[in-house]
Amino acid sequence: MLQVNNVTKQFGDKLAVDDLHFQINAGEILGLIGQNGAGKTTTFRLILNFLKPNSGEILWDNKEITKINTDVIGYLPEERGLYPNVTIEDQIIFFAELKGFSRAKIKPEIDSWMERAEIVGKKTDLVKTLSKGNQQKIQLISTIIHRPKLVILDEPFSGLDPVNAEILKKFVFDLKEDGATIIFSSHRMENVDELCDSLVMLKRGKTVLRGKSEDVKNSFGRKRIMLDAPQPTEAIAALPGVTQVENHKGIRIVHLNEESDASTVFDFVTKDGFIPMFSLEPPTLEEIFKWKAGENNE
C-alpha cells in the first residue's frame, strides 16, 4: 500500500505540490492527471525518493519510502532510456541486473516476454532497429522484469498505435491481477477511465479532483442522454431543459440543464412506444478534465 500524506514540495517561491494526499492499495490502479506543469512528475520523483518533500510523508507498507528496498519499484519515465546499440536481450538483462537479478535467471524468460508483448524481431536484434512501439514495449518489459510491487508509469501510451496500446494495457491489468500497486499518468482520459480504480487531478500543484473514477463522474450529475429515437433533432432541442443536441455517428447526444430534465425528454421520445436507445449518463473524464483545467482555482 502506498500512502502520500499531506505532502508539499516547494522550489524557491514556486509551490510544485501543495498538501497532496492519497492512498493506493495492493491490486489497485490510480491515475494521476493534470496539464503539463501540474505537479505530476514532481510527485513521481517524490515517491521515488529523487526529491525530498518540504513537509508530509510518503509511506510504502507503513514504512517511510526512504527506508525501503528500491527493487520493489518499477518506474517507466516519460522520457525513454534505452540503449540503441545493444541487443534486445542485453538491454532487458541489463535492467534486470540493476534490480538484483542474475543473467542466468532472466535470459531463459526473454523469449516468453517478447512473445507476450508481440514484439516483431529477434532478441539478438539491436534496439535501434525496432519501431517506436516495439521499443516502448521493450522499455515496459525492462521496467517490470523484476516483478515490482509498486509500479509507476509516466505516459506509457504516448505515441502508441491502438494495437500496441492494447498490448500494454493487458500488461497493466496483469500487474494489477498479480497484486501490484500501480500509479500512472496519461493525457488520454479514455485510458484513465478504462484502467483506473481512482484518480487524482492536479492543477498548479493543488488537488482539484480525487476519488473513485465512477464517483468523480457521477458527482457532476447525469446531464447527458445518449439517444436513438425517431423524433426530429429540432423538436428535441426545443424541449424544456435541453441546452444542446449533437449528432454523433447516428446517435444524438442531448445535453441537459439538470438531471431531472431527463424525464421530459424521455416522455417525449417514448410517446409512440419503443425506441432503440435512451441512456442517461454522467460526463466523460475528458469533459471533466477540460472543465477543471479551465477553471480559475486561485
Q: What pLDDT is recorded for position 157?
A: 86
Q: What's the whole-model pTM score?
A: 0.85
Q: What pLDDT is recorded for position 292?
A: 86
Q: What pLDDT is recorded for position 197?
A: 93
State the pairing for strand pair 224-228/55-60. unpaired
**By the 8 A CB rule, do 8 and 18 touch?**
yes
What are 288's three cell numbers? 471533466
Residues of the chain predicted below pLDDT 70: 296-298
Q: What pLDDT is recorded for position 159?
A: 76
CATH value of 222-281 in 3.30.70, 2.60.120, 2.60.40, 2.30.30: 3.30.70
CATH 1.20.140.10 fits 2-217, yes or no: no
Alpha-helical (H) ranges within 196-232 are 213-218
Distance between CA atoms of 283 and 163, rounded to whole angstroms?
27
Q: Using DSSP, state whether 9 is helix, strand or coil.
A: strand
Q: Which of 92, 131, 82 is CA-nearest to residue 114?
A: 92
Q: What pLDDT is recorded for position 296?
A: 64
Distance between CA atoms of 171 and 76, rounded to whole angstroms?
13
Torsion angle of the four alpha carbons 161, 163, 164, 170, in this order, in degrees rounded to the nearest 10: 140
The answer to whether 2-217 and 222-281 have equal CATH topology is no
**pLDDT digit string, tens, across residues 60-117:** 988 888 777 778 899 998 877 788 899 999 999 998 998 888 889 899 999 999 999 9
Torsion angle of the four alpha carbons 58, 9, 152, 72, in this order, in degrees rounded to the nearest 10: -40
The domain limits of the chain are: 2-217, 222-281
